[in-house]
């Protein structure tokens, strides 16, 4: 059997509860066991609006911060234009303090402008809003009296305490796959995570574009982590695995076909080959996202990476 190479391994926290009540006992058991098993990081997504029962990510990470000690905590991703950046700066700083400096911030542009209408975010000029939001957050994290003069936001000596534990701030990873988003990730970010809705072949193309921008900007690729969310289903009956994924994707994302197009599924050997291909394509970290039988996946996926050092 092919073994995926030695890369940091992250995993998504149970957060979506389609056919059962919210199960905090599962969440608690899962994150504690993930830390025991040596996973490098555990992650949440953002789904604010919709009929899929999904826990709010930052609130969930605050809970997780209190019951873990070492594992890093990540957001993949917070849709920045849907939020007030001063509020986000405070939330992220609070979470970094609650976790004693274990936060990785994933942000992105998002694609559902109707959410911004409900949440009070930006419905127009969302790219400008995103870039200004990051500048506002960095000013509040880094400056004792924050100053910023933008189109959407102006700061004139505002203060925010406590500052994040990590200096100058927690690492900010970008999502997004449009060529402009990839360029923006290199220009403004500390790393990038490929979307779970991208296929392996699409991910490889995105990595190639990122490397071009890194070279053009003079940035050292070794200091810019590239990762990918991978929807994965271990099952010796590959057809059954695909069927369960299609049902989940159809209900959560409204596209059953996406479950067939982007997931890694099947036997342990088949999934190992799929993950190896993603690593070969440029992934320096894998964020694995099982959507059913999470505790079983937690154990079995870790066995596929026996040499991974957390």
Tell me what pLDDT residue 307 has: 47
**For the CA atoms of 29, 31, 34, 38, what is the dihedral angle to 10 degrees?**
-130
Tell me what pLDDT residue 306 has: 65
**For the CA atoms of 58, 42, 51, 83, what is the dihedral angle to 10 degrees?**
30
Q: Which domains does the chain have, with CATH numbers?
A: 9-303 (3.20.20.30)
- Provide the CB-side half-sphere exposure for 59 (13 A, CA): 8
Residues of the chain with pLDDT under 70: 1-5, 306-310
CA distances from 37 to 133, 135, 158, 163 (A): 36, 37, 43, 31
Tell me what pLDDT residue 113 has: 77
Tell me what pLDDT residue 308 has: 45
Distance CA 53, CA 62 (A): 19
The closest alpha carbon to 106, from 54, 57, 56, 36, belongs to 57
pLDDT digits (tens, 9 = 90+) for 70-113: 999 999 999 999 999 999 999 999 999 999 999 999 999 987 77
pLDDT digits (tens, 9 = 90+) for 208-253: 999 999 999 999 999 999 999 999 999 999 999 999 999 999 999 9
């Amino acid at each position: 059997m092919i073994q995926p190479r030695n890369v940091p391994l992250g995993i998504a926290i149970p957060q979506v509860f389609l056919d059962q009540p919210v199960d905090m006992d599962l969440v608690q058991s899962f994150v504690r066991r993930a830390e025991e098993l040596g996973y490098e990081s555990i992650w949440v997504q953002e789904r604010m609006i919709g009929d899929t029962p999904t826990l709010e990510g930052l609130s969930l990470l605050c809970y997780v911060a209190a019951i873990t000690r070492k594992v890093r905590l990540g957001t993949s991703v917070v849709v920045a234009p849907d939020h007030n950046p001063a509020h986000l700066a405070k939330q992220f700083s609070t979470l970094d303090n609650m976790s004693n400096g274990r936060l990785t911030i994933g942000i992105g542009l998002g694609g559902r402008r109707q959410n911004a209408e409900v949440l009070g975010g930006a419905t127009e000029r969302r790219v400008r809003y995103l870039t200004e939001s990051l500048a506002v957050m960095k000013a509040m994290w880094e400056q004792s009296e924050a100053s910023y003069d933008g189109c959407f936001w102006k700061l004139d000596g505002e203060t925010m305490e406590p500052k994040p534990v990590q200096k100058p701030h927690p690492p900010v990873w970008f999502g997004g796959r449009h060529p402009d988003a990839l360029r923006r990730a290199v220009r403004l970010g500390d790393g990038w995570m490929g979307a779970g809705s991208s296929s392996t072949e699409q991910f490889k193309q995105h990595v190639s574009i990122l490397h071009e921008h890194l070279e053009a900007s003079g940035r050292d690729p070794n200091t810019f982590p590239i990762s990918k969310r991978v929807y994965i289903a271990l099952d010796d009956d590959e057809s059954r695995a695909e069927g369960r994924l299609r049902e989940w994707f159809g209900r959560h994302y409204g596209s059953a076909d996406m479950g067939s197009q982007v997931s890694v599924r099947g036997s342990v050997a088949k999934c190992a080959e799929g993950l190896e291909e993603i690593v070969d394509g440029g992934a320096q970290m894998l964020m694995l996202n099982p959507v059913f039988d999470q505790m079983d996946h937690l154990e079995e996926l870790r066995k596929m990476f026996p040499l991974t050092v957390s």
